[in-house]
């Protein structure tokens, strides 16, 4: 008899004993600066004491409740999030993950428009359930049949999208910044053009803010950063600071028109997740928090174009480090890890991703810069051989 884990992941070969804030403590005694943050999940950093208190307190008070019952964390969560919503009337449905949140947004949009086609984008990632996978552009999306028709347009192809969004399209779904694709930002005018095309065709615009939401870009939502409002949006990952949650948010008129029974969940919207999300939302809304996110992002951009890094793109603390030509992200990631800094990779083998805790140690950009310098000087041959001598700055 033997039980193994399904080999779904190619794991990074470190053994983490514990974590605090943005520091991982490894079993060999090393301390590693975590600039990956569990892909945007650890909003407040690992083991945040006040979030721990909230969860412990809520567990004692009422650990689980069916969605048929009302409770104080539900009201408190609505109050905390209401303060952070874009202008207008919104309604929220709470589930457990990003894929589930997107599945509900797509289902609601198609039910309301009575249409069966969704427009999505090259490079997109929206999750691994049937609908979310169908609108994702990766090998991970494999299903033998699709629950709806999907049309894929190249990212930032304004003319292609305008032509494709016609009266047969029920929903257009996109990440305002494509993360897994390599932190691909929208071209100027792209989001506004999609908004206008959806208006014209009667299609609903869905923003997947699973990564870009919850303060990540230095505004609470990406829609506020870009000044373009969707009809529905979703989030998950960092919304409850590490406690599983998914949110599907729609204009209240859309939510009110959704057929009864279309959406439901056992665990979603339980008191623990809601108490955690309310706490995280209030922390992000505290004076100075989002300014610090913007400042930290600007500091990474300023200080990390050195050694193997040719340029930095993205907003706030969702950043893509574009490597010098010829370098491989996995090799640079491993070399940085040997210098005790953890960064992420993505679908683009020439890009590293930073998605750290939003509460970061002030010296995090300097520590990454030092590690970049160290790998440039000491460098693994795979890195050194591709670096032009002038590219490495002391
Ligand atoms: N949407 C985006 C933009 C994501 O990055 C992810 C996960 O990485 C998902 C959706 C799916 O979220 P989950 O893994 O919680 O289902």
- Residue 135 sits in a domain whose CATH number is 3.40.640.10
- 141 and 154 fall within a common domain: yes
What pLDDT does 37 receive? 81
Q: Are residues 215 and 269 in the same domain?
A: yes
User: Residue 330 domain-assigned?
Assistant: yes
* DSSP secondary structure code for residue 282 in this structure: H
Is the same domain home to 346 and 241? no
236 touches ligand 1 (CB under 6 Å): yes
Q: Are residues 206 and 353 in the same domain?
A: no
> For all residues of the chain together, what is the average pLDDT?
94
Cβ atoms 210, 98 nearer than 8 A? yes
- Name the domain boundary from 230, 258, 285: 285
Beta strands (DSSP E) in 53-138 are 90-95, 117-121
Ligand 1 nearest-atom number relative to CA 244 = 15
pLDDT tens, position by position, 131-149: 999 999 976 667 888 899 9
> In this structure, is residue 255 part of a structural domain?
yes
Residue 164 shares a structural domain with residue 299: no
Q: Is 136 in the pocket of ligand 1 (CB under 6 A)?
A: no
Last residue of a domain, one of 245, 267, 285: 285
CA-proximal residue: ligand 1, atom 12 (nearest)? 98
Does 318 reside within a domain? yes
Ligand 1 pocket test: which of 36, 237, 265, 314 has the largest number of ligand atoms within 8 Å of its C-beta? 237
**Cβ proximity of 201 and 166 under 8 Å:** yes
Is the distance from the beta carbon of residue 125 to the nearest atom of ligand 1 less than 6 Å? yes
My answer on whether 238 and 344 are in the same domain is no
Confidence tier at 275 by pLDDT (50, 70, 90): very high
CA dist., res. 280 & res. 247, Å (int): 14
Where among 285, 302, 329 does a domain terminate? Answer: 285
In a domain, 151, yes or no: yes
Q: Are residues 230 and 339 in the same domain?
A: no
Q: Give yes or no: residues 142 and 77 share one domain.
A: yes
Same structural domain, 261 and 323:
no
What DSSP string runs through 285-305? HSTTHHHHHHHHHHHHHHH--
239 and 187 housed in the same domain: yes
Domain count, the chain: 2
Q: Which of 342, 382, 349, 344 is nearest to 14 (CA)?
A: 342
153-173 core/surface letters (b: 16 or more CB in 10 A; e: else): bebbebebbbebbeeebbbbb
Q: E strands, 77-157, where? A: 90-95, 117-121, 149-153
pLDDT tens per residue across span 334-391: 999 999 999 999 999 999 999 999 999 999 999 999 999 999 987 656 565 555 443 3
- In the reported structure, the alpha carbon of residue 93 is separated from the centroid of ligand 1 by a whole-number distance in angstroms of 17
pTM: 0.96
pLDDT score, position 393: 35
| Confidence grade of residue 64 (pLDDT, cut at 50, 70, 90) | very high
Domain that holds residue 91: 49-285
Which residues have CB under 8 Å from 293's CB, separation 6+?
215, 216, 217, 218, 316, 317, 358
41, part of any domain: no
Q: Show the tokens assigned to 287.
A: 């004076």
Domain check: are 109 and 194 in the same one? Answer: yes
Residue 250 lies in a domain: yes
**Claim to verify: residue 263 and residue 350 sit in the same structural domain:** no
Answer whether 96 contacts ligand 1 (Cβ < 6 A).
no
Is there a domain that residue 119 lies in? Answer: yes
Which tokens go with 322? 């574009």
Q: List the CATH number of the domain containing 326.
A: 3.90.1150.10
Does residue 73 line the site of ligand 1, with CB under 6 A?
Answer: no
Structural domain contains residue 6? no
Q: What is the pLDDT of residues 102-134, one digit of tens each?
A: 999 999 999 999 999 999 999 999 999 999 999
Q: What is the pLDDT of residue 386?
A: 59
pLDDT of amino acid 233: 98
| Residue 125 contacts residue 181 (beta carbons within 8 Å) | yes
């Amino acid at each position: 008899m033997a039980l193994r884990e399904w080999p779904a992941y190619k794991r990074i070969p470190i053994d983490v004993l514990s974590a605090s804030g943005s520091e991982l403590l490894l079993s060999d005694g090393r301390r590693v600066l975590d600039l990956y943050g569990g892909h945007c999940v650890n909003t407040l950093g690992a083991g945040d004491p006040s979030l721990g208190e909230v969860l412990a307190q809520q567990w004692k008070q009422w650990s689980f409740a069916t969605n048929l019952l009302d409770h104080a964390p539900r009201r408190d969560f609505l109050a905390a999030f209401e303060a952070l919503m874009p202008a207008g009337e919104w309604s929220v449905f709470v589930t457990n993950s990003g894929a589930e949140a997107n599945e509900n947004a797509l289902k609601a949009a198609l039910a309301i428009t009575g249409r069966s086609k969704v427009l999505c984008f090259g490079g997109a990632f929206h999750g691994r359930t049937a609908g979310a996978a169908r609108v994702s552009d990766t090998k991970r999306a494999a299903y033998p049949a699709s629950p709806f028709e999907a049309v894929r347009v190249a990212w930032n192809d304004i003319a292609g999208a305008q032509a494709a969004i016609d009266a047969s399209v029920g929903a257009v779904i996109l990440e305002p910044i494509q993360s897994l694709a390599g932190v691909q930002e929208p071209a100027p005018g792209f989001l506004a053009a999609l908004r206008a095309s959806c208006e014209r065709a009667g299609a609903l615009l869905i923003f997947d803010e699973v990564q870009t939401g919850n303060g990540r870009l230095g505004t609470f939502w990406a829609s506020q950063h870009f000044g373009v409002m969707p009809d529905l949006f979703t989030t998950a990952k960092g919304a409850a600071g590490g406690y599983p949650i998914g949110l599907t948010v729609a204009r209240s008129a859309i939510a009110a028109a959704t057929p009864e029974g279309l959406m439901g969940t056992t665990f979603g919207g339980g008191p623990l997740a809601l108490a955690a999300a309310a706490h995280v939302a209030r922390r992000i809304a505290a004076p100075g928090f989002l300014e610090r996110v913007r400042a930290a992002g600007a500091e990474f951009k300023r200080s990390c174009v050195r050694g193997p890094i040719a340029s930095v793109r993205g907003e706030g603390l969702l950043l893509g480090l574009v490597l010098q030509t010829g370098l491989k992200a996995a090799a640079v990631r491993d070399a940085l890890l040997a210098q005790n800094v953890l960064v992420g990779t993505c679908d683009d083998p020439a890009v590293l991703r930073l998605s750290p805790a939003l509460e970061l140690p002030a010296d995090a950009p300097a520590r990454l810069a030092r590690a970049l310098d160290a790998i440039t000087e000491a460098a693994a041959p795979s890195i050194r051989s591709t670096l032009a001598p002038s590219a490495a700055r002391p």
